[in-house]
Amino acid sequence: MFADYTSSELLSIFAMQGFAGLILFSVFVLMALGLAIIFGQMGVINMAHGEFMILGAYMTYLTSHVFENYLPASIYGMYFFIAMVIAFFAAGALGALVEWAMIRHLYKRPLDTLLATWGLSLILQQLYRTIFGTREVGVTLPDWLMGSYALSDSIEVPINGLFVMALTVVVTVGVWLMMQKSRLGKQTRAVVQNRPMAAAVGINTAKVDRLTFALGCGIAGIAGSAFTMIGSTGPTSGQLYIVDTFLVVVFGGASSLLGTVASAFTISQAQSTMEFFLSGSMAKVLTLLVVVGILMLRPQGLFSLKMRK
């Protein structure tokens, strides 16, 4: 399959596909980070995660709409940062509400959480459809995100992609620092490792659960915000990514953030590189098959904490 291309052509193909893979990687990481926190730390399967992401995307769309129509054009370039904050808090607030109303009653029944959150995702999808219509919506990118940056004659990188990647790095580092250093992060890890003992030393475990869930959903909101930079948003966009994202989290080793990032990188690069040579669907089938195959051989994922059960 390489015979038809010269070596420099191959190099630029790999570079361009690698870059496309990096954008996919960014979306995977942003979505998977929230899931890794919720699933890896709390053991809760949130099938509505994609819908939380789409909520962030719709919030970004609304914010850009407000900036475009009601505020001076000079500050339009700034809308994204405000939208991101709104998306984070909107998704986080909905997450806290869902945890309070639904999830906290089901902590002892993880498989049932899966079904209940699937129901939630159906309701949210239909809600989006009712409010925003079935057509996909997109935002107008501000000028400074338009265009691309030419590395060489045949290799160009789009600036919005670069921005999304930078955002991913910032969010990932932020989440990692928070889990390692902050009070909430330490409390979360304590609750995960030993719930009765954590409660015994005075941690309000119910509150930690709610905040952790809200945080995971909030990060999904940010993911949705970033998603608007590179694609348009429809009511069912979230569902397209949910299985992939779960595989990313499981493949990486559920409780390891580093593993999540590494597996997102592997999966997205493999997929986008193969996409060029095979059809899109076969690339996806092969990637998923390899991931499932590896998971069958190594069920604990790439990186796993050595912990006594």
Partner 1 sequence: MNSMISNLFSRYQLTHMLILALLLVVVLPLSMDIFRLNLVGKYLTYSFVAIGLVLCWGYGGILSLGQGVFFGLGGYCMAMFLKLEASTPEATAIQSTPGIPDFMDWNQLTELPWFWQPFHSFGFTLLAIIAVPAIFALIVAVAMFKRRVGGVYFAIITQAVAAILTILIIGQQGFTGGVNGITDLRTLHGWDIRTDSAKYVLYFVCVALLFGCLFAAKYVINSKLGRLLVAMREREDRVRFSGYDVSAFKIFIFCLAAVFSAIGGAMFTLQVGFMSPSFVGIVPSIEMVIFCAVGGRLSVLGAVYGALLVNFAKTTFSESFPELWLFAMGALFIGVVMAFPNGLAGVWSSQVEPRIKALFNKPGRTTPAATNSTSAPAATPAESFNPEEPSHARG
- Asked whether 253 and 43 are in contact (CB, 8 A), the reply is no
Residue 65 or 284 with smaller CB distance to partner 1: 284
What values do phi and psi take at 195, rounded to 5?
-65, -50
Q: Please list every residue from 142 through 181 that binds partner 1, using CB under 8 A.
A: none
Q: Rule CB under 8 A: is residue 305 a binding residue for partner 1?
A: no
Only segment of 62-70, 138-146, 180-188, 242-250 that touches partner 1 (CB under 8 A)? 242-250
DSSP state of 156: E
Which residue of 150, 170, 177, 285 would you call a contact of partner 1, by CB under 8 A? 285
Q: Rule CB under 8 A: is residue 207 a binding residue for partner 1?
A: no
Which residue of 11, 16, 82, 122 would you call a contact of partner 1, by CB under 8 A? 122
- What span, in angstroms and rounded, lies between the C-alpha atoms of 232 and 230? 7
Tokens of residue 307, six digits: 């912990």
Q: Which residue has the tokens 């370039």?
A: 77
Q: Which residue has the tokens 């919030």?
A: 59
Which residue of 119, 133, 147, 231 would you call a contact of partner 1, by CB under 8 A? 119
CB of 154 to partner 1, least distance (A): 29
- What span, in angstroms and rounded, lies between the C-alpha atoms of 18 and 82? 30
CA dist list (Å): 31 to 11, 26, 92, 226, 237:
30, 9, 14, 10, 13
CB of 275 to partner 1, least distance (A): 12
- What span, in angstroms and rounded, lies between the C-alpha atoms of 225 and 27? 10
Residue 112 or 136 with smaller CB distance to partner 1: 112
Residue 120 or 211 with smaller CB distance to partner 1: 120
Only segment of 18-26, 153-161, 210-218, 243-251 that touches partner 1 (CB under 8 A)? 243-251
- What span, in angstroms and rounded, lies between the C-alpha atoms of 103 and 112? 10
Q: Which residues bind partner 1 (CB under 8 A)?
A: 39, 43, 45, 102, 105-106, 108-112, 114-116, 118-123, 125-126, 129-130, 243, 246-247, 250, 279, 281-282, 284-285, 288-289, 291-292, 295-297, 299, 309
